[in-house]
Structure 1
């Protein structure tokens, strides 16, 4: 066998092995960098996060003269579509006479308010500019407690800022901030001015809109809340399409039955929802539901969490038929209810 022909495959094998080894080392090094740096995630997401400046005029009566006091509020927002729709919080733009958007590339433009939804503290703005960087949408249903995330916003108006943390909890619904709550909780630092900003995963995908902090001082104490992106997109779609969020309406209020409540009121059931109020001429009244009834099931599912039931009813379209199983006295019953459109100003939230 020719010596040259003998060594050729050996050399090729050595070179191939070396290349594979180097490639493996590069991949491992890249992974190490990814593990210790969020820079790639930041590069992907930050161009889509904007600063929001609103001007609010307040007329203050001083003796016999009326003085107009101007104040500038700061917040954040996220470019949701390439044609300029922006997601933010309702409280960021509430009572604003003018809204100015400052983009990542230093462009500034006045925004139009398309609509807002105080019940979820969300608002939709619109700007008309070319070459907008819209954020990539994630799926908040796939978020898990313990996932690493980033919060991007404009805290205290000092400029765009990135903080890191994890998802601390999901489905927080009894905070008392909004009518319909389903918050993601995070320990990433969220401060005044972050409201309306982005909560993103490590791919730079939007998973939530930063909404509020739980604090005794007004600053971050490691408990922040964000509206899941799936909920925010539903609100945005409805506002763009209808000018408002169209929700199902039942017209009753109820509280969770606990063991203590059942014993104190001698209730015939230790679980379910106790009806405490019925709105006149509402779907609930038309279906024959009464104060004092115990609702056990809605659409064959146990009804034990009033917050989840509230969100369920609101998520259904007007005209939807639902089935309720309840107890009145010692007698069980089943009734069908046709949901109506929730009135704009309505105290009862079911």
Structure 2
């Protein structure tokens, strides 16, 4: 009897050892990490460290530091205008009302105020904003971040980029810090700071949705598109990166209705705002401060991008001439509508934005060589640029 009990115990122990070895083998093959943790080899802390590293790379928990860095340089702008109105009154007599409708009252003056934002670019009081914010204003006031109100004078405007430079008689102001790498990449986190709807300084967050956007509002467009909320009153405010550095000047909200389909009324798109790249804004500011206006080189022609060839998806490099301004440098060298322009001074022309920006950056009096095709026949023309006239005289 005693012998049989010992035999039973031996069999039980043997079976337990076999089962344990089998389980260990399965775990070592299919869950090696679990085996390491059971052994206490320290792989679990390493995994946690990896998780923390991944989290740290996902972005900051708060953008408060970026806002506190940029916000003092963003101001509210109040532009006051005097407009003339003539109210209409209903005629009291029913018969006269049927014949005459409404009678016009006397012309009266009415004072209107538009709201916008601006960015302080220098400690001695130069403020950049949108031209449409201050157009027609006879009194412009700037509300600073510390509550002070300053009277502003217009240093100069540039309708072609919708920018204006103001000057306030204040010193030691908090100037905005411009991003060292001023480029904006799709997916970058951005913060829009301004005074939407006059409710006071507000910050919204989004990403760069696209770059190089053109809205056909002016000749020089290279907008940054963002889904950060930009509303009326944000115009002229700052678009900054996650470090609080300026990358653009908020300028427009896309307000073109889109079709809803199925006979329903068009809907207004949301989350589409635009900003002028800081490189463009800074160049305009510098010229206005120096000259009082922007000086641009001008060939004297309008261009369009070359459409893709049949069956192609990629756009061709170069531009096609769609208009030649009479008596302009282009007209004097016999540039013609329909000509394809492929190179400027030996460097390939990417598209119409590229050519406009390159000619605008050249000083009037500069001689350039245009190379292209006219009816598949190569040609080259030497053109002496002049200063670009005001938009009203070029028709642009």
TM-score (norm 1): 0.83
Cα distance in 1, alignment partners of residues 317 and 354 from structure 2: 15
2:221 to 161, 181, 186: 181
Partner of 1:239: 288
SS of equivalent residue, structure 1 residue 334? strand
Cα distance in 1, alignment partners of residues 72 and 147 from structure 2: 10
Q: For the structure 1 residues 33 and 159, does the alpha-carbon distance in structure 2 shift closer, same or farther, using more than 3 Å as the test?
A: farther
CA shift, 1:64, in A, is 6.2
Deviation digits for residues 184-222 of structure 1 (CA, Å, limit 9, x no counterpart): 111111111000000111221111100011134798811
CA shift, 1:274, in A, is 2.5
Partner of 2:126: 85
Q: For the structure 1 residues 309 and 169, does the alpha-carbon distance in structure 2 shift closer, same or farther, using more than 3 Å as the test?
A: same
Cα distance in 1, alignment partners of residues 162 and 179 from structure 2: 20
**Is 1:153 the counterpart of 2:168 in the alignment?**
no
Question: After the TM superposition, which residues 62-81 of structure 1 pair with which residues of structure 2 at under 5 Å, given as runs?
Answer: 62=87, 63=104, 65-81=106-122
**Is 1:209 the counterpart of 2:249 in the alignment?**
yes
Q: For the structure 1 residues 121 and 88, does the alpha-carbon distance in structure 2 shift closer, same or farther, using more than 3 Å as the test?
A: same
CA contact (8 A) 2:325 2:394 kept: no
Q: Which runs of 5+ in 1 are unaligned?
A: 1-23, 263-269
Partner of 2:168: 127
Q: For the structure 1 residues 154 and 271, does the alpha-carbon distance in structure 2 shift closer, same or farther, using more than 3 Å as the test?
A: closer
Larger radius of gyration: 2
**Shift >4 Å, 4+ stretches:** 31-34, 216-220, 259-262
Cα distance in 1, alignment partners of residues 317 and 173 from structure 2: 51
CA contact (8 A) 1:50 1:77 kept: yes
Cα distance in 2, alignment partners of residues 175 and 227 from structure 1: 12
TM-score (norm 2): 0.74
Q: Which runs of 5+ in 2 are unaligned?
A: 1-48, 88-103, 258-266
Partner of 1:108: 149
Question: After the TM superposition, which residues 272-311 of structure 1 pair with which residues of structure 2 at under 5 Å, given as runs?
Answer: 272-311=318-357
**Is 1:197 the counterpart of 2:237 in the alignment?**
yes
SS of equivalent residue, structure 1 residue 42? helix
**Is 1:249 the counterpart of 2:298 in the alignment?**
yes
Q: How many residues align?
A: 314
Deviation digits for residues 198-256 of structure 1 (CA, Å, limit 9, x no counterpart): 01112211111000111347988111111111110100010111111000111012222
Q: Which has the higher contact order (CA 8 A, sep 6+)?
A: 1
**Is 1:314 the counterpart of 2:339 in the alignment?**
no
